[in-house]
Chain A
Amino acid sequence: MIARRLAAILFLPLMLAFGTGVYLYLGTMKSTAVKQHAQLPTVTKPRFVLPGTMFVVQEGRLFKLSGGGFTEIGPSGDWSQPTLTPNHSQMVAVLRGGWSSDLYLLDVKGTVIKRLTKDDSKYITSNHWAFYPQISADGQTVFFGTDNPKFSNLDPGVDLSVWSMPINGTQSQGRRWTDPYWYTGGDTSPIPVAGGLLFVRHSIDNTTASDDEP
């Protein structure tokens, strides 16, 4: 009789532990898609070591890859599209806010030297984007894409044109290089070349456009 009571007392925690164990074990069986999300590069290790230095961005954070190790640089924020000056002493990168983005000049340690554009405004339609910075061969001019001008204040036409501005100057000294095809997203990825400019133009050719599935 005592033995039965003792067994019952011992069984209860055993059952509870086992049931809890099954519950927790099932939780470990989740797929990697649900369980694991991307880790920062400072946590993982690259598989091989490359010579030189590379600047990369992950989830808005700037990293320098050198000697097989990642180091986070730059202030916090939503950074993207870093591009080096020809002498590799500085870089221009995009810092994105909620409604706008701007170009910043930084040194290779990530210290902000200068804000190059000012595209934010409390009036939503007065905000602008600045993307795809590329620096001229002489290091004096930065080319980029921005939604300026907008199609009209009433019609939400927002397309990127290619502009340039002096790195040591102001945004008001900017020069527009392209006239985008409206409602396609516009012109992107400028690359200054000797005597001109390479860029990507998004457009639609009504004479050959197919209305089948893309």
Chain B
Amino acid sequence: MRLIALTLFCLLLSGTAGAAAYFFPVVVAGVGQTGQTVIVPPTTTSGGKPIAAPTAAPGSPFTVLLLGSDDDLKFDPNHVLTQSMILVRVDPVSKHVVMESIPRDLWVPLSTGGSAKIDAAYSYGGASAAIATVERNFHVHVDEYAWIGLKGLIKLIDLLGGVDVNVSNPVLDDQYPNDINVKYLYGYARVAVLPGPQHLDGTHALQYVRSRHNDINGDFGRSARQQQVLLALKAKASSLNVADLPSIVSALSGEFKTSMGLDRVRSLLSLASAFDPTKIQQTVLYVPTYTSYGQISGQSVLLPHWSQILAITRQNFP
């Protein structure tokens, strides 16, 4: 009897050790990349009094600020611009998702001081500055953030076997930056993603979401394509399970940071399959309703129409 008990105990111990070894990379990444602490200065009223930020209770809707950056060697890795900023509201109960893309050239007051294009907020003060800038200008509370570098996006999409998108019009570009995994970082490549159903690997998916030179909608067209690829990723992610976590962590190694804890990341994975695509609402702040083109200090910028922007944001993020 004692021998049987001892045998079972030893098998349990070794089995646990085997599982721990399997998930060890996830634990390491969980410590290093998830649960990033972000200290966001409180939003103040015009009288200077701090407004208490609401916190999302478990199971209640929450808002995530998605950030995507060039992480090539052209820039100081700690001071990169955010080429993509997307506010996402997730309601786990109603399975409703709202996405609102913030144009990178939007001219706003920064939380770090002064005014600039909003993509500079992250370069000046990291995630906390990006979140604070968005919260103060858009009057929205951000519960979490997630940042991904471009190489991480490529690896993640390749890990999932590519994404499937329906391309509405040819995406052609003669000046696409050829700066990933090359020595000379300032060269160009040519891009052609043809219309219709397309299966894109990581490299071509990145070209699809990053190209903007030959798009009549410019950066807005790119924002719409980014949302489209996010939804395509969601469709692939719906088939993932816990056993995939080590592979995902390995793909995103060094290219992903988030304030979300492992619990929330795991719950999002499990929710991915439950979201109804017809209940996903997408907003892009196009010219002329929400923004207009302008020039400030020699830069081409987007000037916000705050009454319209705040109205749609209030509607999207109640």
Instruction: Please give the residue numbers on chain A whose beta carbons come within 8 Å of chain B beta carbons, in ascending order.
Output: 7, 11, 14-16, 18-23, 26-27, 29-34, 36-38, 98-101, 124-125, 127, 129, 131, 147, 150, 156-160, 182-186, 188, 200, 202, 204, 211-214
Contacts and interface: CB of A to CB of B under 8 A. Distances in A.
Contacts, number: 143
Contacts of A211: 286-290
A125 to B, nearest CB: 6
30 contacts: A16-B14, A26-B19, A31-B241, A33-B160, A34-B247, A100-B190, A101-B192, A124-B190, A127-B190, A147-B172, A156-B214, A157-B214, A158-B190, A159-B170, A160-B172, A183-B216, A184-B170, A185-B195, A186-B172, A188-B170, A188-B194, A200-B195, A202-B169, A204-B217, A213-B224, A213-B282, A213-B283, A213-B284, A214-B282, A214-B284
Contacts of B195: 185, 188, 200, 202
A99 B176 CA distance: 11
A160 B170 contact: yes
B244 interface: yes
Contacts of A31: 239-241, 243-244
Given A27-B243, A31-B241, A185-B171, A158 B214 contact: yes
B79 interface: no
A71 B25 CA distance: 43
B169 A158 contact: no
Given A26-B243, A34-B161, A184-B216, 12 more contacts: A26-B18, A27-B243, A29-B243, A33-B237, A34-B248, A98-B190, A124-B188, A124-B190, A129-B172, A131-B194, A158-B174, A211-B287
Q: 3 closest pairs, A vs B, by CB?
A: A185-B170, A22-B18, A211-B286
Contacts of B239: 31-33
A33 B236 contact: yes
Interface residues of B, number: 53
Contacts of B22: 22-23, 26-27
B189 interface: yes
A156 B243 contact: no
B159 A34 contact: yes
A23 B18 contact: yes
For the complex, would chain B's binding face be called helix, strand, loop or mixed by DSSP majority? mixed
A26 B23 CA distance: 9
Contacts of B247: 30, 34
Contact of A23 (B19, B214, B286, B289): B19
B15 interface: yes
Contacts of B240: 31, 33-34
B311 interface: no
Contacts of A156: 173-175, 213-214
From A101, A184, A200, residue with most partner B Cβ within 10 Å:
A184
Nearest to A16: B14
B215 interface: yes
B11 interface: yes
Contacts of B15: 18-19, 22
Contacts of B175: 156
B13 interface: yes
Nearest to A158: B172
A22 B171 CA distance: 47
Given A18-B14, A31-B241, A185 B282 contact: no
B21 interface: yes
A20 B190 contact: no
Nearest to B286: A211
Contacts of B214: 156-159, 183, 185
Nearest to B7: A11
A8 B199 CA distance: 55
B122 to A, nearest CB: 24
